[in-house]
């Protein structure tokens, strides 16, 4: 006989879990007791939200399922933002929560919260385990659901008496999971693939619009082969950055609200839009009626519900992006003549490059450019949310998938730092840098305690403008410069870092940027860089809310 | 905009109904009626949902419902030959002799049964499609409906076909 807690740990080990991010509490004591001498490494965070983000960052950096653990009630509730973040970006995470004993369920017991009810809208699926004998099956299903099909977070809620309950040893564990209500489609329909190929062969101005689905499906090589074989320019979403090398001649960069001019013009003028692992999010499309108005649309996605949700589609292909791209490549016989079109998009790229005022002031774009130049695409870049995120997306040259980790769908400030911790444990071999704003970093700054305790070599680059910069930008542009509650007083981030035992450096001059970044990257442990940047710098290009994406402001007009 | 009747086979597990209903409400889909109960398979339940919307909305409803892990199959019965029934219990005021007689006559025409007789009220039970029950309700309203309860629509495909067997 063994306990439910031991059964749980063994089930996690069968799933190949090597790291758990968590925070202990009353009803998870039996689980923590089992963890004490288990081979699974547990990273103690300073707030449960960070555990969920770290598990998410681990998953994004590695492609494996990230795992977090929290106690019942407040612990579980604190995971919710992290779970919702993972859900919006389709990230495989298994969240384990303790629960009050089954006999007290529904009784408003101490630290009870209905976490399966609370997380129903933000999980792919969730479980309340009422019998220790179910733990093996539930854990197996949870990991299977999290990582297959369109990935997503799964929560498993475990009452204390289930952890302490007894399970017979040596019970066989099923080899495969079979759920009659869950049968994802991986192979694209051949007839639709051939219809797509007909459109591709006949298109004069085709454009690939690629997103996070390419990264999730590990389909970067196939995508690159496809755009090169078919000679089609490509633009990626925020989530798709790195799926195609940023400096590839066919890559037009990011599209959408803060997209490049060449990408947004290409969308507006293309006659065939090949949407790959994307969901036509409003931050991408702007005014949906004018998004790719002249184009036939091919949409490849593993989730049938995304096809036709926001934009009518001519050729729907439900399937795994990698498998569908392979089929397209296999069956492609003829490509369209795209030479003129490629030349045109290249001319836009040359004519409308990203630009900012490169004077002697310390501007945030310059910091990101220098970071890009130093890491040469070899590190993992994590961001917070807001201006810091957009400057990084625009000015850092991503060369490989899974080297860019950001909260796209939910837009969670405070995500980056804990996600960077998770990314480090997934890829301890590469430098991990969190690009932050002074607002975002203060949302989970307590994690300095975690990086100090475990000597986690995450570097934090704060683009400090003493504002909630993106909101301030909107106030400047659309609210008559009425900066309502967006100004933040100066904070001595170096002192805060030092108080936790972490090194830090403040940089006020442009001339000091490169050296400071080099110092941080050369340091073995964690490092905080506080860059005092131009306070009212804006992110451009920008498409105002509700406008068509070719109607950008802050750019040289056509 | 039109009503669609969806037949949804689900795992018979705790929380399934709240998963389905919660998804409808958070995505802004309107449920006109919902009926749930056991079906021919011991571990499954059948939920019959009537939703209002254009074809695009109903397609989204079906796809999003299908995504729920505990949902086994979703079918739109509206486009196919099906039998649809609803049951209502109507407590209607029937104090005076003439009123009572008229109500009984109406009940007879609608093949409604009297399932409870009180000194001041009658309870009628009626089955049929939605329109029939609406019509009876309308006719009884002038007499004073004290209470009314409807089950929500349930439906099955006509003939040998079943929701499970058909694509």
Q: Where are the domains of chain A?
A: 2-167, 190-351, 364-532
Asked if A417 is an active-site residue, the reply is no
pLDDT digits (tens, 9 = 90+) for A128-175: 999 999 999 999 999 999 999 999 999 999 999 999 999 998 888 888
DSSP B117-136: E-SSEEEEEEEE-HHHHHHH
Residue among A116, A182, A305 minimizing CB distance to B69: A182
Instruction: Work out the minimum CA distance from A505 to partner chain B, whole angstroms.
Output: 46
Asked if A21 is an active-site residue, the reply is no
The answer to whether the CB of A217 falls within 8 A of the CB of A320 is yes
Cβ within 8 Å of residue A462, ≥6 positions away: A436, A437, A438, A441, A493, A528, A529, A530, A531
Reduce the DSSP state of residue A496 to 3 states and report it.
helix
DSSP A318-342: ES-HHHHHHHHHHH-------HHHH
Residue among A116, A128, A305 minimizing CB distance to B64: A305
Residue among A121, A303, A305 minimizing CB distance to B22: A121
Structural tokens at position A248: 């590839």
Q: Does A482 touch chain B (CB under 8 A)?
A: no
Please give the residue of chain B at the shortest CA–CA distance from A179: B69
The answer to whether the CB of A280 falls within 8 A of the CB of A288 is yes
Sign of CA dihedral A173, A179, A182, A186: positive
From CA A83, how far away is CA A408, in angstroms rounded?
14
Which class in CATH covers the domain with range A2-167? alpha beta
From CA A25, how far away is CA A250, in angstroms rounded?
52
User: Which residues in chain A have their CB less than 8 angstroms from residue B15's CB?
Assistant: 116, 120, 128
A199, containing H or E segment: helix A190-202
User: Which residues in chain B have their CB less than 8 angstroms from residue A308's CB?
Assistant: 56, 59-60
**Which of these is catalytic: A110, A169, A204, A515?**
A110
Question: Phi and psi of A453, rounded to 5°?
Answer: -60, -45
**Which of these is catalytic: A466, A470, A542, A552?**
A470
The answer to whether the CB of A231 falls within 8 A of the CB of A335 is yes
Residue among B23, B56, B70 minimizing CB distance to A181: B70
From CA A298, how far away is CA A276, in angstroms rounded?
8
The answer to whether the CB of A277 falls within 8 A of the CB of A301 is yes
pLDDT digits (tens, 9 = 90+) for B140-166: 999 999 999 999 999 999 998 888 776
From CA A37, how far away is CA A53, in angstroms rounded?
25
From CA A275, how far away is CA A208, in angstroms rounded?
6
Question: For residue A15, is it left (φ>0), alpha (ψ between -120 and 50) or beta?
Answer: alpha
Instruction: Work out the minimum CA distance from B115 to partner chain A, whole angstroms.
Output: 38
Peptide bond into B132 cis (omega under 30): no
Q: Does A125 touch chain B (CB under 8 A)?
A: yes
Chain A with chain B: Cβ pairs closer than 8 A: 38
Q: Where are the alpha helices (DSSP H) in A24-159?
A: 29-36, 48-62, 74-88, 115-119, 135-147
Q: Which of the residues in chain A have pLDDT under 70?
A: none
CATH fold, domain A190-351, is Rossmann fold (3.40.50)
Predicted pLDDT of residue A173: 84
The answer to whether the CB of B50 falls within 8 A of the CB of A151 is no
Q: Does B60 touch chain A (CB under 8 A)?
A: yes
Q: Which residue has the tokens 């639709």?
A: A192
Compute CA A278 distance to the chain's CA centroid, rounded to the nearest angstrom. Answer: 13
Predicted pLDDT of residue A170: 84
Predicted pLDDT of residue B166: 61
Asked if A160 is an active-site residue, the reply is yes
Cβ within 8 Å of residue A260, ≥6 positions away: A235, A252, A253, A254, A349, A352, A354, A394, A541
Q: Which of A105, A116, A144, A181 to mutate to test the interface with B (most CBs of B within 10 A)?
A: A181
B89, containing H or E segment: strand B82-93
Question: Which residues 2-21 of chain B have a CB within 8 Å of chain A?
Answer: 10-11, 14-15, 18-19
pTM recorded for the entire structure: 0.96
Predicted pLDDT of residue A239: 98
Nearest to A57 by CA among A521, A450, A514: A450
Q: Which of A122, A150, A305 to mutate to test the interface with B (most CBs of B within 10 A)?
A: A305
Judge residue A116's burial from the number of C-beta atoms within 10 Å of its C-beta, 0-12 exposed, 13-18 middle, 19 or more buried. Answer: buried
Contact A120 B67 (CB under 8 A): no
Could you report how far apart the first and last alpha carbons of chain B are, in Å? 25
From CA A503, how far away is CA A495, in angstroms rounded?
9
Cα-Cα-Cα-Cα dihedral of A458, A464, A467, A473, to 10°? Answer: -90
ipTM computed for the complex = 0.91
- The residues with which B155 forms a beta bridge, in sequence order, are B84
Question: Phi and psi of B5, rounded to 5°?
Answer: -105, 115
Question: From the CB of residue A203, how many other CB atoms can be counted at a distance below 10 Å?
Answer: 24
Predicted pLDDT of residue B112: 97
Predicted pLDDT of residue A439: 98
Q: Is the pLDDT of residue B28 over 80?
A: yes
Contact B59 A117 (CB under 8 A): no
Instruction: Work out the minimum CA distance from A130 to partner chain B, whole angstroms.
Output: 11
Residue among B18, B64, B72 minimizing CB distance to A120: B18
The one-character DSSP state at A546 is T
Nearest to A246 by CA among A400, A406, A404: A400
Contact A303 B64 (CB under 8 A): no
pLDDT digits (tens, 9 = 90+) for B35-45: 999 999 999 99
Work out whether strand A380-383 and strand A404-405 pair parallel, antiparallel, or are unpaired.
parallel
User: Which residues in chain B have their CB less than 8 angstroms from residue A145's CB?
Assistant: 69
Q: Which residue has the tokens 């997103």?
A: A211
A122, containing H or E segment: none
Residue among B22, B63, B69 minimizing CB distance to A181: B69
Contact A181 B64 (CB under 8 A): no
Reduce the DSSP state of residue B24 to 3 states and report it.
helix
Nearest to A295 by CA among A315, A274, A271: A271
- The residues with which A542 forms a beta bridge, in sequence order, are A553
Asked if A88 is an active-site residue, the reply is no
Asked if A531 is an active-site residue, the reply is no
Predicted pLDDT of residue A557: 85
Predicted pLDDT of residue B162: 87
CATH fold, domain A364-532, is Rossmann fold (3.40.50)
Contact A117 B69 (CB under 8 A): no
Show the domains of chain B with their CATH numbers: 2-80 (3.30.70.260), 83-154 (3.30.70.1150)
User: What strand order describes the sheet that includes A206-210?
Assistant: A251-254, A234-236, A206-210, A272-276, A296-301, A315-318
Q: Where are the alpha helices (DSSP H) in A428-507?
A: 438-441, 448-454, 469-478, 493-499
Q: Does B59 touch chain A (CB under 8 A)?
A: yes
Contact B70 A116 (CB under 8 A): no
pLDDT digits (tens, 9 = 90+) for B10-26: 999 989 999 999 999 99
Q: Does A120 touch chain B (CB under 8 A)?
A: yes
Q: Where are the alpha helices (DSSP H) in A244-363?
A: 261-269, 282-285, 321-331, 339-351
């Amino acid at each position: 006989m063994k306990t439910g807690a031991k059964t749980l740990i063994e089930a996690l080990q069968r799933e190949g879990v090597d790291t758990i991010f968590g925070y202990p509490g009353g009803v998870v004591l039996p689980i923590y007791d089992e963890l004490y001498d288990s081979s699974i490494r547990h990273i103690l965070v300073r707030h449960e939200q960070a555990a969920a983000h770290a598990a998410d960052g681990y998953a994004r950096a590695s492609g494996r399922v990230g795992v977090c653990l929290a106690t019942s009630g407040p612990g579980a509730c604190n995971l919710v933002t992290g779970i919702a973040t993972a859900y919006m970006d389709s990230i495989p995470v298994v969240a384990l929560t303790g629960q009050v004993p089954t006999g007290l369920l529904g009784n408003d017991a101490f630290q009870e919260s209905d976490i399966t009810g609370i997380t129903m809208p933000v999980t792919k699926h969730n479980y309340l385990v009422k019998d220790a004998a179910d733990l093996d099956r539930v854990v197996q299903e949870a990991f299977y659901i999290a990582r297959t099909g369109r990935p997503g977070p799964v929560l498993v809620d475990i009452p204390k008496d289930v952890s302490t309950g007894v399970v017979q040893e040596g019970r066989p564990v099923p080899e495969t999971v079979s759920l009659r209500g869950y049968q994802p489609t991986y192979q694209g329909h051949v007839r639709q693939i051939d219809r797509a190929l007909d459109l591709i062969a006949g298109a004069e101005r085709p454009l690939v619009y690629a997103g996070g689905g390419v990264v999730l499906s590990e389909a970067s090589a196939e995508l690159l082969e496809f755009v090169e074989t078919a000679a089609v320019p490509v633009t990626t979403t925020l989530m798709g950055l790195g799926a195609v090398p940023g400096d590839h001649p066919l890559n037009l960069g990011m599209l959408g609200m803060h997209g490049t001019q060449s990408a947004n013009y290409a969308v507006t003028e293309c006659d065939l839009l090949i949407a790959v692992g994307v969901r036509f999010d409003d931050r991408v499309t702007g005014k949906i009626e004018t998004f790719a108005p002249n184009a036939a649309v091919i949409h490849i996605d593993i989730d049938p519900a995304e096809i036709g949700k926001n934009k009518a589609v001519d050729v729907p292909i439900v399937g795994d992006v990698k498998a569908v791209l392979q089929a397209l490549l296999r069956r492609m016989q003829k490509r369209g003549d795209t030479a003129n079109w490629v030349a045109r998009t290249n001319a836009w790229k040359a004519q409308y490059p990203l630009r900012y005022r490169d004077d002697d002031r310390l501007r945030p774009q310059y910091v990101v450019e220098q970071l890009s130049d130093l890491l040469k695409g070899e590190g993992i870049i994590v961001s917070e949310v807001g201006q810091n995120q957009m400057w990084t997306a625009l000015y850092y040259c991503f060369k490989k998938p899974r080297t860019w980790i950001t909260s796209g769908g939910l837009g969670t400030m405070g995500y980056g730092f804990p996600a960077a911790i998770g990314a480090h444990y997934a890829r301890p071999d590469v430098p991990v840098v969190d690009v932050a704003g002074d607002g975002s970093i203060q949302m989970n700054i307590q994690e300095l305690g975690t990086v100090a305790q475990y000597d986690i070599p995450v570097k934090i680059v704060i683009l400090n403008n003493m504002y909630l910069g993106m909101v301030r930008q909107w106030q400047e542009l659309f609210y008559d410069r009425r900066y309502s509650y967006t100004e933040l007083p100066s904070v001595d981030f170096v002192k805060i870092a030092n108080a936790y035992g972490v090194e830090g450096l403040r940089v006020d001059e442009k001339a000091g940027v490169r050296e400071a970044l080099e110092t941080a990257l050369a340091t073995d442990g964690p490092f905080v860089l506080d860059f005092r940047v131009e306070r009212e710098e804006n992110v451009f290009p920008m498409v105002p809310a509700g406008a068509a994406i070719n109607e950008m402001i802050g750019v040289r007009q056509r | 905009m039109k009503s669609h009747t969806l037949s949804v086979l689900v795992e018979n597990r705790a929380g399934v109904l709240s998963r389905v209903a919660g998804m409808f409400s958070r995505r802004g889909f309107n449920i006109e009626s919902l009926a749930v109960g056991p079906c021919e398979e011991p571990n499954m339940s059948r939920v019959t949902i009537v939703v209002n919307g254009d074809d695009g909305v109903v397609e989204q409803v079906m796809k999003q419902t299908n995504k729920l892990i505990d949902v086994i199959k979703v079918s739109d019965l509206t486009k196919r030959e099906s039998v649809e029934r609803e049951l209502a219990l109507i407590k209607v005021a029937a104090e005076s002799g003439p009123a009572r007689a008229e109500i009984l006559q109406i009940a007879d025409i609608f093949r409604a049964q009297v399932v409870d007789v009180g000194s001041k009220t009658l309870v009628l039970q009626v089955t049929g499609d939605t329109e029939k029950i609406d019509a009876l309700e309308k006719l009884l309203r002038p007499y004073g409906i004290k209470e009314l309860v409807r089950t929500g629509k349930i439906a099955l495909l006509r003939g040998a076909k079943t929701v499970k067997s058909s694509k």
